[in-house]
Amino acid sequence: MVGESLRPRVAVTRAAGQADELAQRLETVGCVPVLWPLIAIEPLGDEPVDPSGYDWVVVTSPNGAAELARRLTSPPQRVAAIGPGTAAALRGHGIEPDLVPSDSTQEGLLAELPRPAGRVLLAAAEGARQLLAEELVADFLPLYRTVELAPVETPELDLVLLASPSAARALARTKARAVPVVAIGPQTAGAARDLGLTIAAEADSHDLDGLVASLRRALAAKG
């Protein structure tokens, strides 16, 4: 068995309580997972969400999927998930998405959403990009806020996994900003580039499978 000192140390920067599955996957590919949360998720209320008046409910993140499912009073008529990670989170709560665009961006979802879309509810994070709400004249429901953390200590790392632009911003304020990163998708990768972080790989599919596959590519490239 390879000694731990010889295995690459990879930071899992997801919020506390959301990192276990990814950490387990890192173990299976021979890495040492380092749980180093750079963000925290704060729900914005517990009021019931009644989707019955909407033709579409659009969900833009796994965290949004979890919060929406927690507060729904009934199943939505139709649900659009921005990408495979959000779709998987919805399915985990018994909600089968009707649309998952091939391009996991707001522009990709707009391109594939049937028109006219009718009345649309956009369920997302506080302060989320509002392209969908503007283009679809949708009602916007902020379900949670993402808080960027400032860790006191910086662990020894070989790679950092980033699953959100907010995690990229938090990383950029730490001493580990020079460590190469693996990004889960184009928005996270774009934020990392804008911050001057070094991108070792970007996931082809924007979910945990894609993140782990891109990590393996980055490790192979490092030799």
Domain ranges for the chain, please list them. Answer: 4-38+149-222, 43-144
CATH topology of domain 4-38+149-222: Rossmann fold (3.40.50)
- 8 is written with which tokens? 């690459």
* Least confident segment among 46-50, 127-131, 175-179: 127-131
Half-sphere exposure of 75 (CA within 13 A, CB side): 10
C-alpha 122/C-alpha 127 separation (Å) is 12
Whether pLDDT at 1 is above 60: no
Position 3 confidence tier, pLDDT thresholds 50, 70, 90: low
- Tell me, what's the pLDDT at 206? 79
pLDDT in tens, 74-126: 999 999 999 888 999 999 999 999 999 998 888 999 999 999 999 999 999 99
Average pLDDT over residues 143-151: 94
Integer Rg of the chain from CA: 18
Report the candidate in 125, 193, 220, 177 with the shortest Cα–Cα distance to residue 11: 177
Residue 97, C-beta contacts closer than 8 angstroms, at least 6 positions apart: 59, 79, 80, 81, 86, 87, 90, 91
Cα–Cα distances (Å) from 123 to 136, 138, 143, 201, 213, in that order, read 13, 10, 7, 29, 29
Q: Pick the closest to residue 64 from 112, 138, 149, 128 (CA basis).
A: 128
**pLDDT above 80 (res 145):** yes
Report the pLDDT value the prediction gives residue 67, as an integer from 0 to 100.
96
- pLDDT tens-digit series, residues 9-30: 999 999 988 888 899 999 999 9
- Give the whole-angstrom CA distance, residue 124 versus residue 126: 7
Q: Which residues contact 114 (CB under 8 A, 6 or more apart)?
A: none
- Residue predicted with more confidence, 214 or 205: 214
pLDDT of residue 5: 65
Q: What are the DSSP E strand ranges found in the chain? A: 9-12, 32-35, 39-43, 56-59, 79-81, 120-125, 139-148, 159-162, 181-183, 199-202
**Could you report the per-residue pLDDT of 32-69, keeping only the tens digit for each?**
999 999 999 999 999 999 999 999 999 999 999 999 99
Q: Do 4-38+149-222 and 43-144 come out as alike in CATH topology?
A: yes
pLDDT at 4: 61
If one counts every other C-beta atom within 10 angstroms of the C-beta of residue 144, the result is 21
Token match 């000694």: residue?
3
- Whether 171 has a pLDDT exceeding 70, the answer reads yes
pTM: 0.85
Architecture field, domain 43-144: 3-Layer(aba) Sandwich (3.40)
DSSP string, 68-105: HHHHBSS--S-EEESSHHHHHHHHHTT---SB--SS-S
